[in-house]
């Protein structure tokens, strides 16, 4: 799809981004992609992932479920990133 110039003039002040273009200090201090990824994901997400995994493992093998901890999920993300 090709968009043609419609000839509409727009006011530069009215269409300017009103927010700040500076990144927060916490994000600027993150040195690795892993730390940026974990910063954007919340710790609660990883905890819930560990809980859901335990629930699924209990359904598959209730006698001896394979448990995966929060720290193991963090380590997994650290390895793949």
Q: Where are the domains of the chain?
A: 28-80
Whole-number Å distance between alpha carbons of 20 and 73: 34
Query: In this predicted structure, what is the pLDDT of residue 62?
Result: 82
Average pLDDT of the segment spanning 2-14: 64
Does this model's pTM top 0.75? My answer is no
Give the model's pLDDT for residue 31.
84
Q: Tell me: the pLDDT tens digits for 21-71?
A: 787 788 888 888 878 777 777 677 888 888 888 888 888 888 887 888 888
What pLDDT score does 24 carry? 78
Average pLDDT of the residues in 64-80: 81
Phi, psi (degrees; rounded to nearest 5) at 51: -65, -45
């Amino acid at each position: 799809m090709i968009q043609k110039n419609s000839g509409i003039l727009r006011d530069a002040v009215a269409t300017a981004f009103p927010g700040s273009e500076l990144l927060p200090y916490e994000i600027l201090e993150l040195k690795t992609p892993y730390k940026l990824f974990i910063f954007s994901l919340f710790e609660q997400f990883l905890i819930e992932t560990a809980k859901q995994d335990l629930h699924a493992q209990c359904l598959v093998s209730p006698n001896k479920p394979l448990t995966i901890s929060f720290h193991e999920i963090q380590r997994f993300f650290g390895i793949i990133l």
